[in-house]
Amino acid sequence: MIYLLVRRRRPHSGPATYARGLAHAADGHIRILDLGEDTVPVPEHDDLVVFEGHIGDDGRALLAAWPPRPPRDVAVLLHSPLLQMDLSAEIDGTLEVLADPTVGLILAADRQTAQVLQKMSGPARVVWLPHCPPPAPQRPRRVVGPPAPQPPRCWLPMTLDDADPYYRHKNVYCQLAAVALSGLALRVETSYASASLLAFAQRLGVALTTVGSVPEDGFADYLHQTAVGLCTGLSESFCYSAAELMLAGVPVLFGPTLRWAWDDPDLARICGVTDPGSPAETAQKLHALLTDTRRSHDAAAAGRRAATAALAQHRSVAQAVVADLHDPRTRGHAGTTARISSAAQGR
């Protein structure tokens, strides 16, 4: 068995979505437990214990409470794209993981991060375990119901406010400026925002509202009333929010780091923003989407197609990796790495 030990996260956060997707793809091989709430059983012979992000004091207390036998492998799962952000807390934490003799295996969600960590890891093995979103709700994008809100709603995904030390470069100020420059009467909703961001939006004349964490069972309905997603971030190589929106049929504007979305030429032409630091380019794309019904429909179809393809490819790789990790005879061996590299060609 593989035990993935997580810490409580806000709904829709990347780590929470990652864990749900892995559990769905793992065919019963992964059991997810909350370190703060669940009783973690003593692992049996050759079980793999995976800590999310770092082992931490709570994890070390758990390891110390277990008998030293039977032998077990200890791993850490890193969600963040290490190379695309300048967050000292994340870098320092990663260096601690690399120096920890308890950690024999490092699992990285970002492929390029995995390649670099392999150069830094010493005796620890590094494996790419790709981002793997849970399946999209089995429900059509447009259903009979109340009319879409007016003015149109833009969704700006923020599971942390922009003043949080772990906030990643979502490019929110440029995106709000783009809304102001679009020439359209729009409203923007997000989960969290700092007082500075709210004041900035007010000065721009942009209606920005914080709604907190939308409950999981109500988020699909919420998306049905969303006109466009704003995801032209600066630091995300996958972006669960963009994938979730696209799978739900919501048109999404995205930046150059979202490599899998650029693989679809139609989607890239309609929704790709080459310079996310340019509010004018984002504003032009936004205006075109919301004033041309056919373009909006094409964007929704292309986004669903691209996200579905990315999900299928990542899930296939994740299933192969989990199968190898579940078996102690193949866990982290060269054959695992070769299979991962072969499956990961392209994006």
Say if residues 142 and 249 touch (Cβ distance below 8 Å). yes
Cβ-Cβ contacts under 8 Å for 311 (sequence gap 6 or more)? 132, 133, 135, 243, 247
Q: Pick one of 3.40.50.1820, 3.90.1150.10, 3.40.50.2000, 3.40.640.10 as the CATH number of 153-309.
A: 3.40.50.2000
Contacts of 136 (CB under 8 A, 6+ apart): 244, 247, 248, 307, 308
- Quote the pLDDT of residue 280: 97
What single string gives the DSSP state of each residue in 43-74?
P-TT-EEEEES--HHHHHHHHHHS-S-S--EE
Q: Is 236 helix (H, G, I), strand (E, B) or coil?
A: coil
Whether 86 shows a pLDDT value over 60: the answer reads no
Structure pTM? 0.83
Strands 252-254 and 207-210 turn out to be unpaired
Whole-number Å distance between alpha carbons of 176 and 213 = 20
End-to-end distance of the chain based on CA atoms, in angstroms?
A: 29
Same fold, 2-134+318-343 and 153-309: yes
Integer Cα distance of 157 and 228 in angstroms: 11
* pLDDT tens digits, one per residue of 11-50: 667 777 788 888 888 888 898 888 878 788 888 878 899 9
Predicted local distance difference test score (pLDDT) of residue 160: 76
pLDDT of 284-293, one tens digit each? 999 999 999 9
What are the extents of the domains in the chain? 2-134+318-343, 153-309
Q: Residue 113 — very low, low, confident or very high, per pLDDT cuts 50/70/90?
A: confident
Q: 2-134+318-343 architecture in CATH? A: 3-Layer(aba) Sandwich (3.40)
Question: Which pLDDT belongs to residue 344?
Answer: 42
**Stretch 62-78: mean pLDDT:** 83
